[in-house]
Amino acid sequence: MIESLFIYGLLFFIMLAFCYQGSVKKQWSYVVVAVLIYAVLFGMRYGVGRDHIAYWEMYKLGDFSLYEDEPALPFIIKLCKSLYFGPVIFFAIVSFVQLYLCFRVLRKDYYIYKYALIPFFLGAIWLSFSNGLRQEIAFCIFVSSLLAIKEKKWWAYYFMIIVAILFHKSAILLLPLYPILVIKDNWFKKSNLQLVTLLFVVTASNVNVIQDVFSHIDPFIQLIGYGDYFSEYRYSDFLYKESQYGIGYYLILATNIILVLYSDKYKGQFNSKTVNMMYSLYYIGVIMYYLFMGSLLLGRLNYYFYQFNFLVGAYALCYLNKANKYIYILLLLLYLLIFASTLYRGAENTAFFKFFWEVA
């Protein structure tokens, strides 16, 4: 744990220093360097989860039989192998592309650079990026596609989503979102009403609604690319598991409450279609997160919505730093405690940092 804390801490402060310089000097290149440093280190990380280990073995063995309908990742692996790249370089490239695509949406908002890293890193978003590799790439492409929606370039949006589908078929769910977000970017305007709805959903989250939703789910699961999971997990366990309500649950809940409670404020300050879209998607995601938090399947599908929380968090931090120092410090503290809680459970959730030469 000490080794992991040192590596993550050093990486965070180095990246934060570059992002801060990017904000001060209004230069995107500093953020690119920060992302590159992240990619190099995370390319050397091993044992991020069972999916990550499977990808590592797939790279070494060249067995792509499970992904015949999702050819994008096998294509990249074949290209890397043809250039005699090892798996470390492959994972470094993927890590760079993921974070670059997410941060790209912030490129013109230079004042956000120094805030964007905090919810991503301290909020432990990185934990799933290397494990759920294909779907996380699809999510990152979707994040970047918001710029196409903002500029009403439908052809660019659908091209990017088709590419995302080639990584993971679940991205087919994103096809209808273009007209919805073009027609209206700010779907949720009354933060007090949103907060009441959120708290109601949290209260009702103990009720198992999963079984009613999934009475005839098999064809849908196969369509979106999750059929292979049922060869490894029991059907009932994959759909529903008992939720755990430890300290991490309440830390994340408190963070979500702040992001929802002040949403009208920071959306009003930035007055940006991109911020509005990110928040609309995040709010859908946070409702789904608590409503279906026992479902592993819907948790995976919800990646495309709830993971906007770290981008929304960046704008919330920027606003609160100027408008309400006490809540700003509270939100920072919550992110720090989430990071500490994640690392404390490192042996269980694979958060500990291990270099590939230590265990591979």
Q: What are phi and psi of 355, to 5 degrees?
A: -70, 150
User: What is the reported pLDDT for 244?
Assistant: 58
User: What is the reported pLDDT for 179?
Assistant: 94
The answer to whether 67 and 73 are in contact (CB under 8 A) is yes
- The pTM is what? 0.87
The answer to whether 337 and 119 are in contact (CB under 8 A) is no
User: What is the reported pLDDT for 236?
Assistant: 46
Q: What's the pLDDT band for 253 if we cut at 50, 70, 90?
A: very high
Lowest pLDDT segment from 191-200, 216-225, 251-260, 314-323: 216-225
- pLDDT tens digits for 203-214? 877 665 554 554
- pLDDT tens digits for 271-295? 889 999 999 999 999 998 888 776 6
Instruction: Return the amino acid letter for 93.
Output: I
Whether 232 shows a pLDDT value over 50: the answer reads no
Whether 103 shows a pLDDT value over 90: the answer reads yes
Residue ranges of the domains in the chain?
184-323
Rg from Cα positions in the chain: 20
The answer to whether 356 and 11 are in contact (CB under 8 A) is no
CB within 8 Å of 186: residues ≥ 6 apart: 267, 276, 279, 280
Q: What is the mean pLDDT of residues 213-223?
A: 50
Instruction: Return the amino acid letter for 168.
Output: H
Whether 126 shows a pLDDT value over 70: the answer reads yes
Higher-confidence position of 158 and 239: 158
Whether 216 shows a pLDDT value over 90: the answer reads no
User: What is the reported pLDDT for 120?
Assistant: 93
The answer to whether 301 and 173 are in contact (CB under 8 A) is yes
Lowest pLDDT segment from 145-154, 173-182, 188-197, 288-297: 288-297
User: What is the reported pLDDT for 160?
Assistant: 96
CA dihedral in degrees (217, 223, 226, 229; nearest 10)?
70
Whether 245 shows a pLDDT value over 90: the answer reads no
93 exposed, middle or buried (CB, 10 Å; 0-12, 13-18, 19+)?
middle
- pLDDT tens digits for 60-93? 887 777 677 788 888 888 899 888 888 899 999 9
Q: What is the mean pLDDT of residues 52-58?
A: 82
Whether 238 shows a pLDDT value over 70: the answer reads no
